[in-house]
């Protein structure tokens, strides 16, 4: 594999793409430390040293921003508004026929949907930046005695909203630059950079406590095993054979070939985990605005804030399983696949074309999604359960799902580089 890296950097075109991608990722990290105008950076650092926000919705967003949110930097919102906008546009295909029609139009329709996603990203960035600034003013972003925002005027607030929104637009543009001029998967690589940047600090905090060396060693072993599990499952797929009948078009004969439909065990990716974590973080965020001595706030604090609580674990698991089936049903339509196969003369051996094919595909997808949802819940919970077993209070950023994202993006990036190496007749990373 190291020799493949050497060949990649010896290829001028590929070396230029790799260096360009690394430069954009470095620029993204630099922007995560530049404070927004009106923020007292020294006070923010002191508050960060005395507080831990890993278990809140803001902590979730903070992971995807590479720690920029709690520092109120120009890239405070990171790529989160774009992720949210992409998910919303994809879900709206179910309820808005116009979006579904654009999706079926091919490249032109996808371009239009991308444009809508960008507009929605800016709107969400304005809304989220306003929420973050308001939360910071009320002392709920980083609870401490020191003021984070030194100027409370309306003009300063407007300037901060504009700066954070512009930062989101710039991050979105940087991701598209990596996609067009780099190795591809621009948005995913920026998420990869944000999450990977928080790993060393989290692991080092585990090593600094009681029995630190032992806990650190056990955690490293668990992470390696989880990474191996994720690689094995993400590379696995169920191949549904498809046979195309021969047909005459003019004087030419088409068809008569055999192919397959690749079905991944985890078709929904990490989206169900993000949905589940976001929904479970809302009660804790709402409770911060209530009377801290009231019964309902105390109940939420005792049951729905700490990921180690049994009720939290049970709800988290059930939500992941539910959203796995929900998101898979949106992204994979057995009726549409069966109609397309019938239109081009394709059929599954032993299954009649049309409705029987759709029912067979639905049966296969349901069984695979059942296994995939349990796998996703297991990966998301393993690091948290291990930390509870070791008695460590520090949480890895966003639990096992962060490992899932990092490994998934890493595999996809390696495949992109591998395909470009093979186009130049070199042996790739994957043998």
Tokens read off for 316: 């988290």
- Residue 367 counted as domain residue: yes
* Domain end marker among 143, 178, 198: 198
CB of 73 closer than 8 Å to CB of 36:
yes
Q: Please indicate, yes or no, whether residues 184 and 78 belong to a single structural domain of this protein.
A: yes
Out of 133, 167, 198, a domain closes at 198
Which of 154, 176, 198 is a domain's end point? Answer: 198
> Which value, to the nearest 10 degrees, does the dihedral of the CA atoms of residues 76, 81, 83, 88 take?
160
Q: What is the pLDDT of residue 55?
A: 46
Does 186 share its domain with 276? no
Q: Is the pLDDT of residue 296 over 90?
A: no
**Domain holding 43: CATH number?**
1.10.3370.10
317 in the same domain as 374: yes
Task: For the chain, give the percent of residues with pLDDT over 70.
Answer: 84
72 or 247, higher pLDDT: 72
* pLDDT-based confidence at residue 210 (cuts at 50, 70, 90): low
Q: Which two tokens stand for residue 202?
A: 């989290």
- Any domain includes 35: yes
Indicate if the pLDDT at residue 54 is higher than 50: no
Are residue 286 and residue 231 in the same domain, yes or no?
A: yes
Structure-token pair, residue 200 = 């060393």
Evaluate whether residue 94 is within a structural domain: yes
Tracing tokens 């967003």 back to the chain, one arrives at: 61
**Any domain includes 423:** no
Residues 56 and 119 in one domain: yes
Whether 183 and 227 share a structural domain: no
Average confidence (pLDDT) over 21-38: 88
The predicted-structure confidence for 33-50, as pLDDT tens digits, reads as follows 888 888 877 777 777 666
pLDDT at 230 over 60: yes
The yes-or-no verdict on residue 275 having pLDDT over 90 is no
Write a three-state SS string for the chain.
Answer: CHHHHHHHHHCHHHHHHHHHHHHHHHHHHHHCCCECCCECHHHHHHHHHHCCCCCCHHHHHHHHCCCCCCCCECCCCCCHHHHHHHHHHHHHCCCCHHHHHHHHCCHHHHHHHHHHHHHHHHHHHHHHHHHHHHHHHCCCCCCCCCCCECCCCHHHHHHHHHHHHHHHHHHHHHHHHHHHHCCCCHHHHHHHHHHHHHHHHHHHHHHCCCCHHHHHHHHHHHHHHHHHHHHHHHHCEEEEEEEECCEEECCEEECCCEEEEEEECCCCCCHHHHHHHHHHHHHHHHHCCCCCCCHHHHHHHHHCCCCCCHHHHHHHHHHHHHHHHHHHHHHCCHHHHHHHHHHCCEECCCCCCCHHHHHHHHHHHHHHHHHHHHHHHHHHHHHHHHHHHHCCCCCCCCHHHHHHHHHHHHHHHHHHHHHHHHHCCCCCCCC
- Mean pLDDT over 326-355 rounds to 84
**221 and 194, same structural domain?**
no
315: containing domain? 210-391
- pLDDT band at residue 431 using 50, 70 and 90 as cut-offs: low
* Sign of the four-CA dihedral 185, 32, 48, 129: negative
Say whether both 51 and 171 belong to one domain. yes
Residue 162 has pLDDT above 90, yes or no: yes
Number of domains in the chain: 2
Same domain assignment for residues 110 and 215: no
Same structural domain, 19 and 66 = yes
Q: Which of 57-66, 102-111, 280-289 has the highest mean pLDDT?
A: 102-111
What lies within 8 Å, CB to CB, of 216 at 6+ separation is 203, 206, 207
* 375 and 353 part of one domain: yes
pLDDT of residue 256: 64
Residues 11, 24: Cα–Cα separation, whole Å: 20
Residue with tokens 């959203």: 323
pLDDT in the model for residue 56: 52
Which range among 14-18, 63-67, 74-78, 115-119 shows the weakest confidence by mean pLDDT? Answer: 63-67
Domain contains 122 = yes
Average pLDDT over residues 416-420: 78
Based on the fold, state whether residues 14 and 108 are members of the same structural domain.
Answer: yes
Q: Could you tell me which residues are beta bridge partners of residue 347?
A: 243
CB contact set of 16 (below 8 Å; sequence gap of 6+): none
Asked if pLDDT for residue 155 goes beyond 70, the answer is yes
- On average, the pLDDT of the chain sits at 80
Q: Using one digit for the tens of pLDDT, what is the confidence trace for 113-133? A: 889 999 999 999 999 888 888
218-246 mean pLDDT: 84
């Amino acid at each position: 594999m190291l020799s493949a890296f050497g060949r990649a950097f010896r290829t001028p075109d590929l070396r230029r793409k790799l260096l360009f991608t690394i430069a954009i990722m470095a620029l993204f990290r630099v922007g995560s430390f530049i404070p927004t105008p009106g923020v007292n950076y020294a006070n923010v650092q002191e508050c960060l040293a005395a507080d831990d926000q890993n278990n809140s919705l803001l902590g979730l967003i903070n992971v995807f921003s590479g720690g920029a949110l709690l520092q109120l930097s120009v890239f405070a919102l990171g790529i989160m508004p774009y992720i949210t906008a992409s998910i919303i546009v994809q879900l709206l295909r179910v309820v808005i026929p116009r979006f579904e029609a654009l999706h079926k139009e091919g490249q032109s329709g996808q371009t239009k949907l991308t444009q809508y996603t960008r507009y929605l990203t800016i709107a969400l960035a304005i809304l989220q930046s306003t929420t973050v600034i308001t939360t910071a003013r009320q002392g709920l972003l980083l609870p401490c005695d020191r003021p984070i925002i030194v100027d409370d005027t309306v003009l300063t607030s407007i300037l901060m909203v504009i700066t954070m929104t512009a930062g989101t637009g710039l991050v979105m543009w940087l991701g598209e630059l990596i996609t067009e001029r780099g190795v591809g998967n621009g948005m995913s690589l920026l998420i990869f950079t944000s999450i990977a940047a928080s790993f060393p600090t989290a692991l080092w905090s585990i090593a600094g406590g009681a029995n630190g060396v032992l806990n650190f060693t056990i955690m490293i072993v668990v992470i390696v095993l989880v990474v191996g599990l994720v690689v094995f499952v993400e590379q696995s797929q169920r191949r549904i054979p498809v046979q195309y009948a021969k047909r005459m078009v003019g004087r030419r004969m088409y068809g008569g070939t055999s192919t397959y439909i690749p079905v991944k065990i985890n078709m929904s990716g990490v989206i169900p985990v993000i949905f589940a974590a976001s929904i479970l973080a809302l009660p804790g965020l709402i409770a911060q605005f209530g009377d801290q001595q009231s019964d309902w706030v105390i109940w939420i604090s005792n049951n729905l804030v700490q990921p180690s609580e049994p009720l939290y674990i049970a709800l988290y698991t059930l939500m992941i399983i539910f959203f796995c089936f929900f998101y898979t049903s949106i992204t994979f339509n057995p009726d549409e696949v069966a109609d397309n196969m019938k239109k081009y003369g394709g059929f599954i051996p032993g299954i009649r074309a049309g409705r029987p094919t759709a029912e067979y595909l639905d049966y296969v997808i349901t069984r695979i999604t059942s296994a995939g949802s349990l796998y996703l819940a297991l990966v998301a919970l393993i690091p948290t359960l291990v930390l509870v077993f070791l008695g460590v209070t520090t949480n890895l950023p966003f639990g096992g799902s962060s490992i899932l994202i990092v490994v998934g993006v890493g595999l996809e990036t390696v495949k992109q580089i591998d395909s470009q190496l093979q186009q130049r007749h070199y042996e790739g990373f994957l043998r």
